[in-house]
C-alpha cells in the first residue's frame, strides 16, 4: 500500500517545494498529495524538485483550489460553477504533475442554520463525548438531509458525470463526509454510484471522518468499505479524538489496524496531519502506520 504525505502539514503559508522534499526524505516516503488547507503549490517548481529525487504526486484535493461549503449540493449556480472549476483546476494540476486522483467533497446540504447546527453538534461532542443527546441530534440532521436527498442528488449526479466525461484520464474519488449535514451519506454514495457508472469515479476513505461518523452514531467505519470497497481509490490516514481531526496516526482514537484490514490492497494511503505537529511526531506516526502494513 503506497504511502504519501499530504501537503496539509506544510500549512497555508507559502512553503518552498524543497521543504516538502526534506520532509519526504526524513520520513522515507516517496510520494505526496496536494491536500486541502494548504497553499496550492506551483506545478513547475514542485515537479522540478520532486522528479529528480524519485518522488511523485499521487493526487490532489479539489478543496485545495477553494473552499465551497455547499459545493455540488448548492442551489446557487455561481457556487456550483466555483466547485466544478475547483475540480477541473485540481484535475489540471494532477495531469501536469502525473497524479491520477482528484478527491472531491460533495458539500454541505443547504438546510436552515446547517453550518451553525453542525458547529454546535461538534462542540457538544468535544465537550461531552458521544452522548445519547449528541447522537440524537446527528440522527435528526442525517434524516433531514435524507428526506431532501433525491432532487439534489439528481443534479449532483449530472455534474459529476459531466466532470468524469470531461477528464477521462483522472480518477475522481468522493471522500467520506465529515459531518451529518454533508451530502455524501452512505445511502447518497450508493445512489450516486448506481447512477454514475463511469470507471473513473470512486470512493476515497477518510479513516478520521469515518471515526467521527461512528462517534455520532451514523455508521461504523467498516460499513463504508463494506459497501464501497470495490470502488475505493485511496485512503486518508488522520487520527481523531472526539470531533478533532488532523491528529497524527496513533495519537487519537482511530483503530488503524482494523482500517488496514478493511482497505483494498494497493490503494494509496495519505498521511494527513495538521501543521501544528512537529516533524518528530510525523516520524512517529509514519513508523506506526508502517508497522501495521501501510
- Whole-number pLDDT of residue 16: 84
3-291: which CATH architecture? Answer: Alpha-Beta Barrel (3.20)
Spans of the chain below 50 pLDDT: none
What does the pLDDT read at residue 183?
A: 83
- pLDDT for position 68: 66
Task: Give the pLDDT score at 67.
Answer: 62
The pLDDT value recorded for residue 112 is: 76
The single residue listed with the C-alpha cell 470495490 is: 230
Residue 37 phi, psi dihedral angles, 5° rounding? 80, 5
Q: Please report the pLDDT score of residue 189 as a whole number.
A: 93
Q: Of 237, 169, 168, which is closest to residue 1 (Cα–Cα)?
A: 237
> What is the reported pLDDT for 12?
64
Name beta bridge partners: 173.
103, 202
Predicted pLDDT at 146 = 86
3 in Cβ contact with 59 (< 8 Å):
no
Question: Using H for helix, E for strand and C for coil, what is the string for the chain?
Answer: CCEEEEHHHHCCCCCCHHHHHHHHHHHCCCEEEECCCCCCCCHHHHHHHHHHHCCEEEEEEHHHHCCCCCHHHCCCHHHHHHHHHHHHHHHHHHHHHCCCEEEECCCECCCCCHHHHHHHHHHHHHHHCCCHHHHHHHHHHHHHHHHCHHHHHHHHHHHHHHHHHHCCCCEEEEECCCCCCECCCHHHHHHHHHHCCCCCEEEEEEHHHHHHHHHCCCCCHHHHHHHHHHHEEEEEECEEECCEEEECCCCCCCCHHHHHHHCCCCCCEEECCCCCCCHHHHHHHHHHHHHCCC
Whole-model pTM: value is 0.95
Amino acid at each position: 500500500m503506497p504511502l504519501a504525505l499530504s501537503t496539509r502539514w506544510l500549512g497555508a503559508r507559502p512553503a518552498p517545494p524543497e521543504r516538502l522534499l526534506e520532509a519526504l526524505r526524513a520520513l522515507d516516503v516517496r510520494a505526496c498529495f496536494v491536500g486541502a488547507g494548504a497553499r496550492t503549490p506551483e506545478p513547475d517548481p514542485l515537479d522540478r524538485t520532486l522528479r529528480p529525487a524519485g518522488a511523485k504526486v499521487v493526487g490532489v484535493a479539489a478543496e485545495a483550489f477553494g473552499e465551497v461549503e455547499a459545493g455540488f449540493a448548492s442551489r446557487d449556480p455561481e457556487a456550483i460553477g466555483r466547485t466544478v472549476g475547483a475540480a477541473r483546476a485540481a484535475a489540471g494540476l494532477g495531469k501536469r504533475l502525473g497524479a491520477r486522483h482528484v478527491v472531491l467533497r460533495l458539500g454541505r446540504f443547504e438546510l436552515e442554520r446547517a453550518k451553525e447546527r453542525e458547529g454546535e453538534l461538534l462542540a457538544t461532542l468535544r465537550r461531552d463525548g458521544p452522548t445519547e443527546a449528541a447522537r440524537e441530534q446527528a440522527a435528526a440532521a442525517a434524516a433531514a438531509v435524507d428526506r431532501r436527498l433525491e432532487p439534489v442528488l439528481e443534479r449532483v449526479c449530472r455534474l459529476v458525470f459531466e466532470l468524469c466525461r470531461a477528464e477521462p484520464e483522472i480518477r475522481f474519488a468522493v471522500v467520506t463526509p465529515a459531518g451529518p449535514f454533508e451530502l455524501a451519506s452512505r445511502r447518497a454514495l450508493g445512489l450516486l454510484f448506481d447512477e454514475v457508472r463511469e470507471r473513473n469515479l470512486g470512493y476515497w476513505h477518510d479513516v478520521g471522518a469515518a471515526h467521527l461518523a461512528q462517534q455520532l452514531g451514523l455508521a461504523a467505519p467498516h460499513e463504508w468499505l463494506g459497501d464501497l470497497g470495490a470502488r475505493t481509490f485511496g485512503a486518508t490516514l488522520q487520527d481523531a479524538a472526539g470531533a478533532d481531526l488532523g491528529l497524527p496516526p496513533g495519537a487519537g482514537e482511530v483503530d488503524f489496524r482494523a482500517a488496514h484490514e478493511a482497505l483494498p490492497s494497493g490503494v494509496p494511503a495519505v498521511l494527513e496531519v495538521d501543521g501544528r505537529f512537529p516533524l518528530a511526531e510525523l516520524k512517529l506516526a509514519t513508523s506506526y502506520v508502517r508497522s501495521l502494513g501501510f
